[in-house]
Structure 1
Amino acid sequence: MKLRMLMLTAGATACLVFVATLSLSGAASDAVAADKPDPYGFENAPPAVQSLDLTALPEGSSSEGNALLEVRYVQGQVLPATIELTKDERKVELRASEHDPMLYAAYIDFDFDELIQEQQRRQQLAQTIRSVPVFDGRELVANIGLSFLEPSDVQARVRSHLPVRIPWETIFDVPGQIHAEKSLLITDPTVVQDPTRTFDYCDKSGGPNGTGNPNGAWSFKTLMTNMSSHATDSVGAANFVQDWLNTYSDRTYAAQRVINHWPRIAGTNTLDLDKSPMRLLAIVNRMDIRNNASYGGRNAGEVRFVFGVLGNDGNTDSVAGIRSCRQLAFTVILEYGIPQHGCANIQAYAQQWKSLGNLAWGAGYNQALQNVTNVVTARHAAPLKINGSAINQVRSDEISLLHPLDAFPSIEPDPEDNKPWELREYHLDPTTLGLKKVNVALTPDRHVGHNFNNTATLAQFINDNTNAILNNTYSVPALLNGQPFQALTSHNPHTHPNGVWKAPNIASNQARHLFSLNTCNACHGSETQTSFLHILPRDVDQSADLSRFMVGNGSLENPGTYTVVDPVSGVQRQFGELHHRQQDLASLVNMSCAGPGFVADLLGTNRVQIRSH
């Protein structure tokens, strides 16, 4: 068994020279001060760090903190003279050295005891943990031995006021501490079919009008009503849903398969939300897409509810109503922003998710989970957002509305892209207060007759934005060279290698890969070898199946990784989405905001470069 203990050698004392000569109030060199950083913001894409040192100051030597923080950033980055950080909800200014523009420093309050305790915990874990994964964004790039700083060495250097260098590999955590099936992606039937919190119109075991509670906390009716501006107006809430459904009317069989077969309130043409043909598939913790709190980020990630749409399969059947109760190749995801701000609040909310893993399935677990999800789904959960709803966006992924008969999973897309899967995104509109279709994130147009894949335009865009793509600070513009470029809907043809985003003369295949992976259609297709859905529709009393991208060659209870061959370069890439999320949540809850958690964000180990999915 290999233990990775990192000794703090005398080489770290070189920073003492900088301590003696640093002027924290001095200006940076003119060349650096004149440049501007990427406007995307360090809270989303922090600059790369070469080294980080903390020096405990003699008591009373500074009114600004008990420690000197020194950060050396990697050469070649355009950085401002001053970088603003957030520590314990207070602003801290990192200032560049007059003599070395990549070396920044600030006085801060830092809990060295927490750092020592964290390294002691890691030292103990290293007795039994052989290795931990290292992810670069969504890709597993290595497995290394669990590293730690020798706790007694840290203590000695703190007492002697010598710099403590903190390598990134001594910060990120062990994935196995998180129960993915209870804390990250919940699909267990005892939850998604909870008769007090969910409703399934097409499960007739509870009677002809369905099974469960249409007013339950996780029912489609409750979630959509709370999202709307009609909390006490059932007809208004129904019209809110109807207006959203009507946006699918451009799909050939939308009316036949879904809109006209949604049950109506007796004697009216108003949707009966008490009989919503929407089956809950999963509840998902996406705190991994939060932004960086140490660089001022206030986005705590998302909580998502995934529904399968139930509709008409076009076939006759002797059982009344059965034609409206077949699972379609159509899922809808409600994606809520978490209205928590500040490291301590975000960490406390993450701890609630982690603690779910200690509970047995049943009433106690479901109540605890509802306590967690109420934070985002409750009426007025986010008072400053439209309708007071915490919803960020609603997305859908379907192919059923182009096919008159087939039910899931028999549908396959047309290889010529004539009848592809389609992904859509909706935001609340500040004027109408309803759901409005918007351009899909980070995805160029791919419609027949207006397909940017395999074009010189795509190659030029990727080449012109290579550094931004590699740093994940780019965006896909609505217009490029005066022409529409970003997709209003994302067409997803197939998992054939030709389905990835590529073009001749792209200089960096890594940039091509990351660009493609961030698109809706390639993430749900060829770049991950996924057949369109990461969470699949389910039958009654069953758990939803998950894509290999989610669980790898493992399972929901024990996620692993799998290998995908890059269809352009032939490079083998390993993905393991839930495995990565396990590690991220463990790191978030185990490291205090006053100590290691702040350092982890500076080093980038708690930041995932995932922006669209």
Structure 2
Amino acid sequence: MSLWSRHFVVTPLVLALISGCTDGTSAIDEEFTAENAAALYQDDDDRDRDRDDDDDDDDDDDDDDDDDRRGRGRGRGRNNENDCSITWQKELMITELGVVNDARAEGCGPWSFCGVMRNLAGKRNEQEFVKRFVESWLYDQTMHGVVVKKRENMRTLVLDPWKARSANGKYDLAVAPFYLLAIVYRPDLRKNGEVGTAGGEGRFVYGVRDSSGADLRFTVIFEYKLPDHRGRSAEDWAEDWHALGKLQLGSSAYNKKLEKITNRFAGRGSQADRNLNQIRTNENALDPLWELREFHLESDGYLHTVPAALTPLLSMNGTSMLTSFVRNNEQKINSGSHQVPIQINGTPFSAGAVETPTPSFTWNVPDVSAALKRKFSIQTCNGCHAGDTGTRFLHIAPNNGDKARLSAFVTDVAMTERVDELKGLLGCE
């Protein structure tokens, strides 16, 4: 079942219409408009070690954390006031250089691109697994009658330099050009009563560098469900991430604790391939037109490009077909539970890859209310990454070796909602 056939939690502050965003940013509330979002955000353009933990060690870590929790209140209304201060930079959106530049994020460490790809590949041939993913930009792909066009600059900017650093013309994952930008906890993406997804999502966000080591405008995000392994609930996951707030950001103790958490959903022995919801990419490094793609692990065990979540073809913008769809799905759009069909009456409707033509782009839906149009538009990939949030394409952006640059929408709007969600799980209401 696709992630997008499931229902999101709807919180009081912000309707969780996050499915269109590659970093999963939440939707705006009724009073937040593209105009005041733009005022908040000032031109984003300017602004090996191998640590293979065996399963027994991971189980010991879980037992230690379970023992810790026995002394803490669990569930709503059972936490004390001293436990309710949230530092989102430590618990929800982790971009500190002492974390993302840690040895765990280098070579084939557990937070590196190499590490997460190896854990997803499992027993499959590692080279074939990686090749199918990274070379998918090199050829046209047709999905339900829609062509996702190749972007051949992927070869010259990313793949050829990577192979040149590798032996025997292969893709040596230890020297991959992908580097860690952020580790993210999304408690607002938990599902109501759905087995295996109760905890929300954990994410690794990567940037991409060219042959000279310069940042490309290109991000790759691995998005995992937080599983209910050994009965771990949303409250358990919340307490684990919240415990990071008591430690010094980027310290040895902090990074060790964070590694224990990430190993539970993305590490060796965690069934990372089952936990992966999707991979999303967002770039205009390969072509001047911004493009977002989505990948799923399919039944053959490899990553495949799939129709982007909740986003119609750009050619549907301003059409009567789009208006009819939005009107017919008004209730589900308002609750954040609608789906965008692949076709309507035999006509392709869902985008294969998502194009974002301008920084101010927002969907034009004739003859519907402004509120309904906004709720529909912000759920799309290109609405969320442009005019509906006042964002210039990237919510988490490379920053020339400094900490990742976050959009004002993330820091000033989305984090408020996520902090409230975390407090609710901790019983701090």
How many angstroms apart in 1 are the aligned matches of 2:342 and 2:259?
A: 38
How far apart, CA to CA, are the structure 1 residues paired with 2:154 and 2:262?
31
> In structure 2, how many angstroms separate the alpha carbons of the residues matched to 1:267 and 1:44?
45
Code of the residue aligned with 2:389 in structure 1: it is: T
1:278 CA displacement: 1.0
Change in CA separation of 1:139 and 1:182 when aligned onto 2, cut-off 3 Å? same
Of the three residues 138, 141, 163, the one matched with 1:263 is 163
For the pair 1:396 / 2:281, whether they are aligned, the reply is yes
1:255–1:527 distance in 2 versus 1, CA, 3 Å = same
RMSD, aligned α-carbons? 2.9
The 5-angstrom pairing of residues 58-137 of structure 1 reads 134-137=13-16
2:221 aligned residue: 333
| Alignment-derived partner of residue 484 in structure 1 | 348
Uncovered stretches (5+) of structure 1, i.e. residues with no partner: 1-39, 49-132, 143-169, 200-213, 313-321, 403-418, 553-575, 597-613
Q: Residues 333 and 375 of structure 2 are in contact (CA less than 8 Å); yes or no, is this contact kept in structure 1?
A: yes
Name 1:17's counterpart in structure 2.
none
1:248 aligns with one of 137, 150, 164: 137
Q: Distance in 2 between matches of 1:539 and 1:526?
A: 25
How far does the alpha carbon of each residue in 1:139-198 deviate from its partner, in whole angstroms, 9 at most, with x for none?
A: 3469xxxxxxxxxxxxxxxxxxxxxxxxxxx99x9997211000000000000001x201
Residue 420 in structure 1 maps to residue 289 in structure 2:
yes
Q: 1:309 aligns with which of 188, 208, 224?
A: 208
1:363 corresponds to which of 240, 246, 252: 252
Q: Which structure: greater helix fraction?
A: 2
Q: Is the 8 A contact 2:307 2:353 kept in 1?
A: yes
Q: 1:207: which partner in 2? A: none
Whole-angstrom distance in 2 between the partners of 1:434 and 1:372: 25
Return closer, same or farther for 1:394/1:327 CA change in 2, 3 Å cut-off: same
Deviation, 1:534, is 0.3
Q: Is the 8 A contact 1:298 1:342 kept in 2?
A: no
Q: Determine if contact 1:310/1:327 at 8 Å carries over to the other structure.
A: yes
For 2:418, give the aligned amino acid.
Answer: R
**SS in structure 2 at match of 1:335:** strand
CA distance in 1, matches of 2:395, 2:195: 32
Contact 1:177 1:582 in 2 (8 A): no
**C-alpha separation between the residues in 2 aligned to 1:370 and 1:524?**
30
| Pairwise CA distance, 1:217 | 1.3
Distance 1:303 1:468, change over 3 A: same
C-alpha displacement at 1:289, in angstroms?
0.5
1:179 equivalenced with 2:87 (yes/no):
yes
Give the superposition deviation at 1:266.
Answer: 5.5
Change (3 A) 1:455 1:266: closer
The equivalent of 2:120 in structure 1 is 227
Q: Distance in 2 between matches of 1:429 and 1:296?
A: 20
The match for 1:407 is none
- Match of residue 364 from structure 2: 502
- Other structure's SS at 1:258 match: helix
For 1:422 and 1:515, the matched residues in 2 are separated by: 19
Q: Where does 1:336-355 land on structure 2 (aligned, <5 Å)?
A: 336-340=224-228, 345-355=233-243
> In the aligned structure 2, how far is the partner of 1:459 from the partner of 1:342?
46
TM-score (norm 2): 0.77
What one-letter code is carried by the residue in structure 2 that aligns with 1:306?
V
Q: 1:248 to 1:545 in 2, by over 3 A?
A: same
Partner of 2:198: 299
Q: Equivalents in 2 of 1:141, 1:271: separation in Å?
A: 47
TM-score by length of 1: 0.55
Q: Tell me by how many angstroms 1:221 deviates.
A: 0.6
How far apart are the structure 1 equivalents of 2:161 and 2:383? 32
Contact 1:336 1:391 in 2 (8 A): yes
Matched, 1:445 2:305: no
Greater strand content: 1
Q: Flag the 1:445–1:136 CA change in 2: closer, same or farther, 3 A.
A: closer
In the alignment, the residues of structure 1 paired with residue 159 and residue 196 of structure 2 have an alpha-carbon distance, to the nearest angstrom, of 40
The partner residue of 1:373 within 229, 239, 262 is: 262
2:248 and 2:308 map into 1 onto residues whose CA distance is 39
SS of the residue aligned with 2:235?
helix
Judge which range, 349-358 or 264-273, deviates more: 264-273
Instruction: State which drifts further: 243-252 or 174-183.
Output: 174-183
Give the structure 1 partner of residue 185 of structure 2.
285
Counterparts of 2:230 and 2:331, CA distance in 1: 30
- What SS does structure 1 have at the residue aligned with 2:233? helix
The number of residue pairs the alignment matches comes to: 359
- SS of equivalent to 1:550: helix
Once residues 427 and 199 of structure 2 are traced to their aligned partners in structure 1, the CA distance between those partners, rounded to angstroms, is 16
Select the residue among 381, 400, 406 that pairs with 1:546.
Answer: 406
Q: Is the 8 A contact 2:200 2:234 kept in 1?
A: no
Cα 1:272–1:524, aligned 2, differ >3 Å: closer, same or farther? same
1:484 Cα offset (Å): 0.6
Structure with higher RCO (Cα < 8 A, 6+ apart): 2
Give the match for residue 105 of structure 2: 198
- CA separation in 2, counterparts of 1:511 and 1:488? 24
Equivalent-residue separation in structure 2 for 1:358 and 1:484 (angstroms): 51
Q: Which structure's CA Rg is the greater one?
A: 1
Q: Is the 2:163–2:169 contact (alpha carbons within 8 Å) kept by the matching residues of 1?
A: no
The alpha-carbon deviation at position 264 of structure 1 amounts to 4.8
SS at match of 1:245: helix
Unpaired stretches in structure 2, ≥5 consecutive residues: 17-26, 32-76, 139-149
Residue 517 (1) aligns with residue 386 (2): no
Deviation at 1:394, TM superposition (A): 0.7
Identical amino acids, percent of aligned pairs:
33
The Cα of 1:268 is off from its aligned counterpart by 1.2
Give the C-alpha shift of residue 287 in structure 1: 1.9
Supply the AA of the counterpart residue of 1:517. I
CA distance in 1, matches of 2:415, 2:132: 35
Aligned-pair CA distance for 1:389: 4.1
Question: Does structure 2 conserve the Cα–Cα contact (< 8 Å) formed by 1:470 and 1:510?
Answer: no
- C-alpha distance in structure 2 between counterparts of 1:177 and 1:457, whole Å: 47
1:45 Cα deviation from its structure 2 partner: 6.3
